[in-house]
Homo-oligomer: A and B are copies of this chain.
Amino acid sequence: MVAQEEIKEIEKLFDRLFPICRSITGPGLRESLDILGEYIPLERFSVKTGTNLLNNWVVPEEWRIYEAWLKGPDGEKIVDFSDHNLHVVNYSIPVDKKLSLTELKDYLYTIPDLPEAIPYVTSYYKRRWGFCMRHKTYEKLKEGEYHAYINSELLDGQLDYGHAILPGQTDREILISTYLCHPSMANNELSGPLVATFLYNRLKKWQNRRFTYRFIFIPETIGAIAYLHRFGTNLKEKLYSGLVLTCLGGETRLNYKLTKRGDAPVDKVVKHFFKDKYLENLNIPNGHIRDFIPLYGSDERHYCSAGFNFPVGQMARLVYGYPEYHTSLDNKELITIKSLNQSINDIEKVLKGLELNGYYINQYPYGEIKLDQYNLYPNINFSKNGNKDKFNDIDINGRQFSQILTLLSYADGTNSLIKIAEKNEEWFKDKRFNWNILEFEYVINILKEKGLLKGPYFKEEVEPIWK
Contact = CB atoms under 8 A, between A and B. Distances in A.
Contacts of A304: 409
A120 B122 CA distance: 76
A365 to B, nearest CB: 3
Given A122-B381, A381-B121, A409-B305, A366 B54 contact: yes
A461 interface: no
Interface stretch (A13-21, A194-202, A290-298): A290-298
Interface of A is mostly: loop
Interface string A391-405: 000000000001001
Contacts of A125: 370, 372, 379
Interface residues of A, number: 60
Nearest to A293: B427
Contacts of A307: 362, 365-367, 412, 465-466
A343 B402 CA distance: 31
A306 B382 contact: no
Contacts of A51: none
Interface string A326-362: 1000000000000000000000000000000000001
Copies of this chain: 3
Interface stretch (A69-77, A158-166, A224-232): A224-232
Nearest to A58: B370
A369 interface: yes
Given A366-B305, A367-B308, A380-B123, A373 B56 contact: yes
Contact of A466 (B109, B306, B364): B306
A402 B294 CA distance: 9
The 9 closest A-B pairs by CB, nearest first: A307-B365, A306-B365, A294-B409, A309-B466, A126-B379, A306-B412, A302-B367, A307-B366, A55-B364
10 contacts: A56-B369, A120-B382, A122-B380, A221-B368, A291-B426, A294-B409, A304-B409, A305-B368, A306-B412, A307-B466
Contacts of A435: none
Contacts of A123: 379-381
A295 B309 CA distance: 41
Given A379-B125, A380-B126, A466-B306, A55 B294 contact: no
A438 B31 CA distance: 51
Contacts of A306: 362, 365, 408-412, 465-466
A54 B225 CA distance: 57
B301 A368 contact: yes
